[in-house]
Amino acid sequence: MKLEIRALSLRLEQFTLELNVDLQNARTGIFGPSGAGKTSLLESIAGLRKPETARIRLDDCLFEDTEQDYSLPVRLRKIGYVPQDDSLFPHLSVRRNLLYGTDGQSKQNTFSFDHVISFLKIGALLDRDVRSLSRGENQRIVIARALLSAPRLLLLDEPLTALDAGLKETILEQLRSLHDEFGIPMLYVTHDPAEAIESCEEVLMLESGKITARGHPGELLG
Partner 1 sequence: MWLTPAEWQIIGFTLAVCTLSTLVILPFGLAVAWPLARYRWPGKLLVETLVTLPLVLPPVATGMLLLKLFSRRGELGQFLHNQLGIDVVFTWRAVVVAAAVMSFPLLVRSARVGFQSVNQRFEHIARTLGAGDARVFLTVTLPLALRGIVAGVVLAFARAVGEFGATIVVAGNIPGRTTTLSLEIFETVQLGHDTSAYRLLIVSVIIAFGAVWLSEALMKKSALR
Residues making contact with partner 1 (CB under 8 A) = 46-48, 73-75, 77-81, 83, 85, 87, 89-92, 100-101, 103-105, 145-146, 149
- Least Cβ distance, residue 43 to partner 1 (angstroms): 8
Cβ nearer to partner 1, comparing 107 with 166: 107
Separation of alpha carbons 52 and 66, rounded Å: 7
- Least Cβ distance, residue 10 to partner 1 (angstroms): 16
Cβ nearer to partner 1, comparing 79 with 196: 79
Question: At residue 22, what is the residue type?
Answer: D
- Least Cβ distance, residue 212 to partner 1 (angstroms): 29
Cβ nearer to partner 1, comparing 42 with 197: 42
- Least Cβ distance, residue 149 to partner 1 (angstroms): 5
Cβ nearer to partner 1, comparing 153 with 203: 153
Separation of alpha carbons 40 and 62, rounded Å: 19
Q: Quote the distance between the C-alpha of residue 173 and its chain's center.
A: 16
- Least Cβ distance, residue 146 to partner 1 (angstroms): 8
Rounded to the nearest 10 degrees, the angle between the axes of helix 135-148 and helix 113-120 is 150
Cβ nearer to partner 1, comparing 102 with 208: 102
3-state secondary structure labels for all residues of 49-118: CCCCEEEEEECCEEEEEHHHCEECCHHHCCEEEECCCCCCCCCCCHHHHHHHHHCCCCHHHCCCHHHHHH
- Least Cβ distance, residue 222 to partner 1 (angstroms): 33
Q: Which residues lie below 8 Å from residue 24, measured CB to CB, with a gap of 6+? A: 1, 2, 3
Q: Which helix (H) or strand (E) holds 124?
A: none
Cβ nearer to partner 1, comparing 37 with 151: 151
Phi then psi dihedrals of residue 219, to 5 deg: -70, -45
Q: Quote the distance between the C-alpha of residue 215 and its chain's center.
A: 20
